[in-house]
Structure 1
Amino acid sequence: MNSRDTILQRLRNRGGGKLTAPECDFSVLKRPHSSVAEQVDQFQKTIDSVHGEVHRCTPESWIAQLAEILSSRGARNLLIPAKHQIGHAMRDSKRDDLPELLIYDEPINSWQPHLFNEVDASITSTRGGIADTGSLILWPTVDEPRLMSLVPPIHIAVLEASELYTTFHEAMGAQNWAAGMPTNALLISGPSKTADIEQTLAYGVHGPKELIILVIE
């Protein structure tokens, strides 16, 4: 019997032979119900505090607002997913005020040099957002790999207002994460940031220098 088995046996002997896990109490994580408008307001307030940028749009206006945002940044190109409806919508819009659209339709190995050296901005979908922390939920796919949101200087994320949750716990429960998850999930709160030994916080040092969120209301 090894040390682990010895310790477990002692615990069993003290508990009458059975080991039972304590009941889970998540009540501390629950928040009062709030409307979609209140969640959007809270999300925007929180994300603004960490240098993120929120633009409230409609299903009809978001591409036009995106074009204005990219123009103001002088973006030369925008990386879009090949299969997701966001990519289809942008290609179908045929707007001449959008920068060059780069379609992610090759293996990631062939895209890496472009991502790190040539792509000015990328756009991805989201799985939802967390109002309390101002966080985006992304589940990367083959069509939208995580490098799309972690490498280009400008990351633009499209978030449906109806997919905002008050807390992380609420999001996991509502979306039934227990039924299955991807190999990695991303929680993004603002652009990249780091702090040196003197605890001076700096933004945009590695990864995206800007996080721009289009909230579709």
Structure 2
Amino acid sequence: MNARERMLARLRAAAPSVVAPEDIDTIDQCIDSHYDNRCDGLPHAAGMQALVEALQIALTASHAQVLRATERSWPGLIAQRLEEAKVKRVLFDPSGKEGAALKQALPSSVEPHAYDRAIEVWKSELFETIDAGFTVARSGMASTGTLVIEPDAGSPRTMSLVPPLHIALVYADRLHADLHAAMRAEQWASGMPTNLVLVSGPSKTSDIQQTLAYGAHGPRELWVVIVEREGDAQVLAKRDPA
């Protein structure tokens, strides 16, 4: 045997055996039991209002700005905040329900843009002139203040990464206690998306002197709008339009 054959033989000998399906089920049950019975963090059975409050606290601690609104009020709220922040150009997918609502609410001073060209065609314009990007989160994890974003052709990953301001909308009824709860409720095991982006605050980094800087590898600011649907039984206990 040459060196290559000896190396491959050692790797094959060290490879774990295939786990039987019944063993996988047992492992899954043990993991579920661990998370269901753990004492720290939010319980999986926490009410929607408790999840909203926890998400807001965690995101605020991560230097994000959190707004709370209803299905009717959120487009006007974002439009108002964009105008106050003197945002001139905002990037979003106008073909979706939320994008269409935001486009209708924008004041004349804010110019809407769609991601409808290859990045090679407008890379300079994208990096130099777009002030904000708007995305709709697939869901959220309350205990860590994390948003789950599933990029697609209309809202690619670039939309939440390149503009200096990222605005993310998440529905209150799409919140989970933690990553395990999200994976189980959304059945990730049945078919993982090609790409998921987990966002827990604006981009930040620290150099060797431990100086915290925002915006080094992504947006400097993150606005998260938590939206409670009009049909939900609970009513928002607090609203913070400021």
Moved more, 94-103 or 27-36: 94-103
Question: Aligned equivalents of 2:82 and 2:72: distance in 1?
Answer: 18
Q: Secondary structure at the match of 2:53?
A: helix
TM-score, with structure 1 as normaliser: 0.88
Q: Structure 2 matches for 1:114-133, cutoff 5 A?
A: 114-133=125-144
Please state if 1:82 is matched with 2:87.
Answer: no
Question: Aligned equivalents of 1:126 and 1:191: distance in 2?
Answer: 15
Please state if 1:96 is matched with 2:102.
Answer: no
TM-score, with structure 2 as normaliser: 0.79
Aligned partners of 2:79 and 2:107 also within 8 Å: no
Which residue of the partner structure matches residue 70 of structure 2? 58
Which residue of the partner structure matches residue 5 of structure 1? 12
Which residue of the partner structure matches residue 237 of structure 2? none
Q: Secondary structure at the match of 2:78?
A: helix
Structure 1: gaps (5+ residues): 13-17
Select which of 80, 84, 102 maps to 1:72. Answer: 84
Moved more, 95-104 or 18-27: 18-27
Question: Aligned equivalents of 1:193 and 1:107: distance in 2?
Answer: 28
Structure 2: gaps (5+ residues): 1-5, 37-41, 229-242
Give RMSD over aligned pairs.
2.2
Per the TM alignment, residue 95 of structure 1 is displaced from its structure 2 partner at its CA by 4.5
Q: Secondary structure at the match of 1:5?
A: helix
Question: Aligned equivalents of 2:176 and 2:154: distance in 1?
Answer: 25
- String of CA shifts for 1:63-121, please: whole Å, max 9, x gaps: 11101211221101111113221222223x25435611112222333242222111000
Question: Aligned equivalents of 1:87 and 1:65: distance in 2?
Answer: 14
**CA, structure 1 residues 66+97, in 2 after alignment: closer, same or farther (shift >3 Å)?**
farther
Q: Secondary structure at the match of 2:102?
A: helix
Q: How high is the sequence identity, in percent, across the aligned residues?
A: 37
Aligned partners of 2:88 and 2:131 also within 8 Å: yes
Q: Structure 2 matches for 1:1-217, cutoff 5 A?
A: 2-7=9-14, 23-24=26-27, 25-26=30-31, 27-30=33-36, 31-32=42-43, 33-91=45-103, 93=104, 95-96=106-107, 99-217=110-228
Moved over 6 A (4+): none
Aligned partners of 1:82 and 1:104 also within 8 Å: no
Aligned partners of 2:136 and 2:168 also within 8 Å: yes
